Structure 1
């Protein structure tokens, strides 16, 4: 069965073909539809609003237009329709309409917008901040240089209202950074609204962003968009490169004029919204693939934040694991205290294509299968994707300084001495990480990082 509804009428508007998908969309029986006119089937339509009637009477083609109508059973339907007149010897003999059902999607977004509005209104009445941003910079964990550099820029961004563009692979925490910027800014008491551009059908996006006016299209009602709901606060647009190019042009105009106009509206409203955008592919790649307008990119890229992948900040894995252990102990009401050296080495050797989100899921998985009174996460508690795909290079024993070191730079000589010292003390302590850390006078976490850095396997 095709997933597109097809409805064909003759020149009098009588239904001559009506496929099963269209019957499912409309909630009607095929045998009850044949021979009936469009106005019998859809009593809410008029000669001006029916695209089939316009095709029959005026030969007007309609391509991918959203319609909301009521069928003969009183059911509200929202579809994306394309309607074409049918000709024979230059005369219109009928019309065909195809439809894609988006009723559930529209209802879901309408409910989301309405619930969000009610939440904001309630919080304002109770003098509570209407913001939905819950993360702060204190929640962003990591000591690696590249991560701290990104967060330093984000903290400076919180002092201004300039647009921010965040680039980072999926799972690196782009929305967490956006929320932290909002919560550290003067806009903290105002709304923070996040929208994933890839999750909304393009036919709905304009209305969702800018709102609609009654009569703008069949079934349209007066409704706020997310720009109006975010007024005074921050709007976070994730996966910007998935936004339709035409809407990118309209977004650029909003950024330049600081005004929005609802679909079908005749007046413009001034907006005070800070825009933070994010992409999971490099901006240069998005520009090259022509999925991002260059003028919009230059307008949004005032402050650029690039989040490193977990593979690029593996030194942070031990402290991230500690954080997730504390988090899931609260969630599962358990008393897990640590992770074994073997299991941690597997985490350090894994490449983490899903980044921090994948690490979080790996620790959560361990909590799901660990015995209730067990206090240590072992390798067997980790997902097989981690435990079986880790890369452990073979490590040679301690090497001695020989004549060839004369050609080495001072930093390389220092690293070589450090590596040899760690291997020697590690062996003397029977390859026990805690004892080795004590003997070297360093923290356990620092030693674990060095073991990973120099590829020293337990």
Structure 2
């Protein structure tokens, strides 16, 4: 998660030096303060991610310092350290928003583990904020950038199911936008202000996945140097997105089924269950019927998860979306790279239409970004496209003359769909397509479209 900017506040010089020397090798940028007033002065003049604060100090104790920090910079996470732990002091610190409360002496690995958890939480929060902004920017398209009937139907389903907490099962090929659909459901729901946490079940080793999901107690297995709350508790009151659910081992599918039934989890190494309030969204890029037949996915778990089943069509089945997606990506990359690309050459768009997009929307995004990197003009040209796309266009033209629609036919269909989506409003249709109003009036006249 990268390095953290850490401020250590302790009245004992040996402790400050030990923490600084111990945390620096992990890549963190560490500064120290001998007391509360010095710490506040540093915070007013510098930026920090985390403050590690000794509870008992002269001049100003840790609780008072934490209260003052909150009034200056509420984004700083606090970790309290003390050799004299009491229930009352722990409660006071946690009420003020301290992230954790550790007892001296503390192992450096444990402190670094807490810092890593803080930075992961911050990264997820920032990602959620960024993606919510992107989703908000797409309101004119409903939830997803699309004007195809199939995707409009999915948009309508998203709006209907966002109001309740039923589990969702999303099926679709890699790159079709399963996580985007899951995020759209979350950000349109009453849980939108809470965490959205995606988990790729196939990317985490099986022997670690249980601990990652449900948490563990310190010492419950080799390497468990501190308690871990787990992703279910991290997503409390929010949404947990389990991608590639078919990659989850069978014994964990059984445990997940129990969580869905009882609404509680039990961390590894614990005898206590903990109530959980999380909306579950699961997804797979595999054929569901085949996964069930091969027992990669348990029938009982699938039926519990698929209260609502959403199947996202691949891009090759909705090629009418390609122009609007391309213009959407141009808008994003213009902002990202500070460019002013205005359009795509017709031959370039025609090339997109001939290609089958096995990587779906993700591949299209990658191709547009590549064209941005290679192109210096205001129009993206075919020579900036990968050779496999150009070859596919050439082969298709030679083997199936007339099989693909012309760019004019695609353009007409796209304008007609946009006008239909916008209730005949030409200005909104132009905005949706990313073209000027004069352009859409001219095209409507050119193609004889009634509007």
TM-score by shorter chain over 0.5: yes
SS in 2 for 1:389: helix
Deviates more, 1:264-273 or 1:128-137: 128-137
For residues 90-143 of structure 1, give each alpha carbon's deviation from its aligned partner in whole angstroms, at most 9, with x where no partner exists. xxxxxxxxxxxxxxxx999987544234678xx8xxxx9987853536352001
Q: Which has the larger radius of gyration?
A: 1
Contact 1:131 1:191 in 2 (8 A): no
Contact 1:167 1:306 in 2 (8 A): yes
1:326 equivalenced with 2:337 (yes/no): no
Q: Within 2, Cα distance between the matches of 1:251 and 1:242?
A: 13
2:363 pairs, out of 355, 358, 363, with 358
For residues 409-443 of structure 1, give each alpha carbon's deviation from its aligned partner in whole angstroms, at most 9, with x where no partner exists. xxxxxx9xxxxxxxxxxxxxxxxx99876332349
1:441 pairs, out of 419, 425, 448, with 448
CA 1:219–1:338: 2 relative to 1, 3 Å: closer
SS in 2 for 1:235: strand
SS in 2 for 1:305: strand
Q: Within 2, Cα distance between the matches of 1:161 and 1:169?
A: 25
Aligned partner of 1:237 in structure 2 is 242
Aligned partner of 1:102 in structure 2 is none
For residues 182-205 of structure 1, give each alpha carbon's deviation from its aligned partner in whole angstroms, at most 9, with x where no partner exists. 111111111111111011001110
CA shift at 1:164, angstroms? 0.2
1:380 pairs, out of 374, 379, 383, with 383
Q: How does 1:238-253 map to 2 (within 5 A)?
A: 238-253=243-258
CA 1:132–1:377: 2 relative to 1, 3 Å: closer
* Structure 1: runs of 5+ lacking an equivalent: 1-73, 77-105, 397-414, 416-432, 447-458
Aligned partner of 1:145 in structure 2 is 149
1:282 equivalenced with 2:297 (yes/no): no
Contact 1:131 1:192 in 2 (8 A): no
CA shift at 1:219, angstroms? 3.9
Aligned partner of 2:419 in structure 1 is none
Q: What is the CA RMSD across the aligned residues, in angstroms?
A: 3.2
Q: Within 2, Cα distance between the matches of 1:108 and 1:362?
A: 39
Aligned partner of 1:395 in structure 2 is 402
Contact 1:130 1:190 in 2 (8 A): no
**TM-score normalised to structure 2 length:** 0.61
Aligned partner of 1:346 in structure 2 is 351
SS in 2 for 1:199: coil
Aligned partner of 1:261 in structure 2 is 266
Contact 1:206 1:247 in 2 (8 A): yes
User: How many residues are matched?
Assistant: 299
CA 1:296–1:133: 2 relative to 1, 3 Å: farther
For residues 360-397 of structure 1, give each alpha carbon's deviation from its aligned partner in whole angstroms, at most 9, with x where no partner exists. 111111111112xx22112111111211112233239x
For residues 216-270 of structure 1, give each alpha carbon's deviation from its aligned partner in whole angstroms, at most 9, with x where no partner exists. 2234232110001111111011111111111011000011010111111011111
Aligned partner of 1:158 in structure 2 is 162
Q: Within 2, Cα distance between the matches of 1:315 and 1:192?
A: 31
* Structure 2: runs of 5+ lacking an equivalent: 1-106, 404-412, 414-439
Q: Within 2, Cα distance between the matches of 1:115 and 1:188?
A: 21
Aligned partner of 2:214 in structure 1 is 210
More helix by share: 2
CA shift at 1:284, angstroms? 0.9
Contact 1:208 1:226 in 2 (8 A): yes
1:181 equivalenced with 2:179 (yes/no): no
SS in 1 for 2:197: strand
Aligned partner of 1:367 in structure 2 is 372
**TM-score normalised to structure 1 length:** 0.60
For residues 1-45 of structure 1, give each alpha carbon's deviation from its aligned partner in whole angstroms, at most 9, with x where no partner exists. xxxxxxxxxxxxxxxxxxxxxxxxxxxxxxxxxxxxxxxxxxxxx
Deviates more, 1:308-317 or 1:212-221: 212-221
Q: Within 1, Cα distance between the matches of 2:344 and 2:162?
A: 36
Q: How does 1:93-104 map to 2 (within 5 A)?
A: none
